[in-house]
Amino acid sequence: MIGDRWTVLIIRDAFLGRTTFGEFRDHTGAPRSTLVNRLDKLVFNGILYKNPYNYTPLRFEYRLTDKGRALYPWALLIWDWDRKWADTAEDQLPQRIYHKGCDSWMRPVAACAHCKEPLALRDIGHSVNHDYTAPTANTRSKRLTRARSNRGGAPADKSLWHVTDVIADRWTPQILAACFFGIGRYDDFRRKLGIATNILSDRLKQLVETGILVRNSYQESPPRYRYELTEKGEALYPITLALQQWVLEWIPQANTLPIHLKHTPCGKTLTTAVVCNVCSEPLKAHEVRFVFRDDKSRDNIK
Ligand SMILES: [Zn+2]
Ligand SMILES: [Zn+2]
């Protein structure tokens, strides 16, 4: 549903209060036909709904449904990752987040909903769910659509371009998920994920180029390599967990996942909550305020 760069950028804009076709077109920089297609899919999948705001002529705006708004914790983590790891010189992303709940500047953190501890990769245990049957894999090759400018008009909003280059693709999140479970050898990726070799090679190369994975030699003859997550790559883990939590809560047909996850320190089945790093309370949209770099009101925000 959201494994596509334009879709992620539309959701970004919806959370920033953009609602009309023209606003989405200007800010995402998506070609018109692509934007029509992605908005239709988001409506079809129940993430956006069309709301008439003018009757003669008939005009619609696009607003987030409850299911769409439930992506908020995931969107906060994407914002946080992009702000830390992308070159944000040109972007229009809000620079800071203020939490009204505890009256503090804050960062969103993925935490265990049971014991409230921040989630670390080493603390998540997993076991295979033997009742799970995988959906049929679509092996059509498609290169990642790289960030690009729209032709003419205002320059597109470049915020989140880096993170969408990495995660907004059908296969890349699956490769990353395999890495999170300790898979690192080419043959193991191929066997476990059922990816066509050309796609797998292409995505691994891109993940190395973007600094998400490093390729380490573990055998000289014949040469063999292992792909390992960098710090930047490991920092994508909370985003994956937040998205998985959304899938469990909002996609009824996905209520079984191939793997059971457990938070080892407290022993409970993993439920991910995105919380404030200062007060550890779950973040709700109406209690969070984004502050832009040039926002003059930021010093008297209270
Ligand atoms: Zn826990
Ligand atoms: Zn707080």
Ligand closest in space to the Cα of 288: 2
- How many Å lie between the centroid of ligand 1 and the Cα of residue 168? 29
- Between the CA of 286 and the centroid of ligand 2 the distance, in Å, is 13
CATH classification at residue 36:
1.10.10.10
pLDDT of amino acid 251: 80
Ligand 1 centroid distance, CA of 283 (Å):
18
| Contact of 241 with 270, CB cutoff 8 Å | yes
What is the three-class DSSP state of 267?
A: coil
Q: What's residue 62's pLDDT?
A: 97
The distance in angstroms from the start CA to the end CA of the chain is 38
* pLDDT of the residue at 139: 40
* Tens digits of residue pLDDT in 22-42: 999 999 999 999 999 999 999
Q: What does pLDDT average to over the chain?
A: 83
Distance between Cα 233 and ligand 2 center (Å)? 26
| Dist. CA 31 → ligand 2 center (Å) | 39
Ligand 1 center from residue 227 Cα (angstroms): 29
Q: Tens of pLDDT along 227-245?
A: 999 999 999 999 988 988 8
Range of the domain at 26: 1-69
Provide the pLDDT for residue 137: 43
Q: Per residue, what are the HEC states of 45-71?
A: CCCEEEEEEECCCCEEEEEECHHHHCC
Shared domain for 111 and 37, answered yes or no, is: no
CA–centroid distance, residue 221 to ligand 2 (Å): 54
55 plus 81 within the same structural domain = no
Top pLDDT among 266 and 139 is at 266
- Taking 80 as the threshold, does the pLDDT of residue 143 lie above it? no
Does residue 192 belong to any structural domain of this protein? yes
Domain final position from 51, 69, 87: 69
Residues 6+ apart with CB under 8 A from 97: 76, 79, 105, 106, 107, 108, 288, 289, 290, 291
Number of domains in the chain: 2
Q: Within this chain, do residues 107 and 53 fall inside the same structural domain, yes or no?
A: no
Residue 276 C-alpha to ligand 2 middle, in angstroms? Answer: 5
Is pLDDT at 221 greater than 50 in this prediction? yes
- Verify that 189 and 295 share a domain, yes or no: yes
Residue 249 alpha carbon to ligand 1 centre in Å: 19
Q: What is the pLDDT of residue 127?
A: 78
CA 187–ligand 1 middle distance (angstroms): 33
> What is the CA(102)–ligand 2 centre distance, in A?
4
The residue-averaged pLDDT of 144-159 equals: 52
Q: Predicted confidence band at 152 (pLDDT cuts at 50, 70, 90)?
A: very low
Backbone phi and psi for residue 30, each to the nearest 5 degrees, phi listed first: -75, 140
Which of left, alpha, beta for 122 (phi over 0: left; psi -120 to 50: alpha)?
alpha
What are phi and psi for residue 54, nearest 5 degrees? -150, 140
Task: Assess whether 12 and 102 both reside in one domain.
Answer: no
Nearest-angstrom CA–CA distance, 302 and 298: 9
Q: How far is the CA of 101 from the centre of ligand 2 (A)?
A: 5
| pLDDT tens-place string over residues 43-55 | 998 999 999 988 8
Instruction: For residue 255, report the phi and psi dihedrals to the nearest 5 degrees.
Output: -75, -5
Q: Supply the DSSP symbol for 236.
A: T
Q: How far is the CA of 98 from the centre of ligand 2 (A)?
A: 8
The pLDDT assigned to 47 comes to 93
Average pLDDT estimate for 291-299? 59
pLDDT value at 13 more than 70? yes
The pLDDT tens digits for 277-293 are 999 999 888 888 887 76
pLDDT tens for each residue of 73-112: 998 998 888 888 887 655 566 778 899 999 999 999 999 9
Question: Quick one: pLDDT at residue 2?
Answer: 67
Q: Are residues 165 and 175 in the same domain?
A: yes
Domain membership flag for residue 290: yes
Q: Are residues 41 and 130 in the same domain?
A: no
CA of 116 to the centre of ligand 2 (A): 13
Dist. CA 223 → ligand 2 center (Å)? 50
**Band of residue 174 on the pLDDT scale cut at 50, 70, 90:** confident
Q: What is the CA(181)–ligand 2 centre distance, in A?
A: 31
d(CA 6, CA 246): 19
Give me the pLDDT at residue 302, please.
41
Reported as a single tens digit per residue, the pLDDT across 246-263 is 888 888 766 666 678 899
CA–CA separation, 124 and 270 (whole Å): 8
Give the pLDDT score at 20: 95
| Ligand with smallest separation from the Cα of 264 | 1
Query: Do 40 and 131 have their domain in common?
Result: no
